Amino acid sequence: MLKNKTNNNLKASNLSSLKTVYLGIGTNKGTRETNISSAINLLSNIKGIKLLKISKMLKNPPQEGIKSGYFLNGAIKLLTSLTPLELLKVCKKIEKKQGRKETRIQRRKISRVIDLDILFYGNEIINTKELTIPHPMIEKRYFVLIPLMEIAKRFVHPLLKKSIKELYIDYCAPTSIKNCASAV
Residue count of the chain, please give it.
Answer: 184
Contacts to ligand ADP by CB under 6 A:
88, 103, 115, 117-118, 130-133, 135
| 179 in Cβ contact with 57 (< 8 Å) | no
Query: Binding string to Mg ion for residues 112 to 141, with x set by CB under 5 A, is what?
Result: ---x-x------------------------
Q: Choosing among ligand ADP, Mg ion, none, which partner's interface includes residue 50 (Cβ < 5 to 8 Å by kind)?
A: none
- Verify whether residue 170 is a known catalytic residue: no
Around Cβ 99, how many Cβ atoms within 10 Å? Answer: 12
Q: Choosing among Mg ion, ligand ADP, none, which partner's interface includes residue 33 (Cβ < 5 to 8 Å by kind)?
A: none
Q: What angle in degrees, to the nearest 10, is found between the helix axes of 2-9 and 32-44? A: 50
Pick between residue 51 and residue 133 the one whose CB is nearest to ligand ADP. Answer: 133
Around Cβ 58, how many Cβ atoms within 10 Å? Answer: 21
| 159 in Cβ contact with 132 (< 8 Å) | no
Pick between residue 8 and residue 83 the one whose CB is nearest to ligand ADP. Answer: 83
Catalytic pick among 104, 107, 108, 117: 117
- Verify whether residue 115 is a known catalytic residue: yes
Task: With residue 4 as reference, give the H or E element that holds it.
Answer: helix 2-9
Q: Choosing among ligand ADP, Mg ion, none, which partner's interface includes residue 10 (Cβ < 5 to 8 Å by kind)?
A: none
179 burial type by CB count under 10 A (0-12 exposed, 13-18 middle, 19+ buried):
middle
Pick between residue 115 and residue 139 the one whose CB is nearest to Mg ion. Answer: 115
SS3 43: helix
Q: Choosing among Mg ion, ligand ADP, none, which partner's interface includes residue 163 (Cβ < 5 to 8 Å by kind)?
A: none
Pick between residue 110 and residue 169 the one whose CB is nearest to ligand ADP. Answer: 110
121 vs 83: CA distance, rounded Å: 9
User: Which amino acids are annotated catalytic?
Assistant: 100, 112, 115, 117
Using CB under 5 A, list all residues that contact Mg ion. Answer: 115, 117
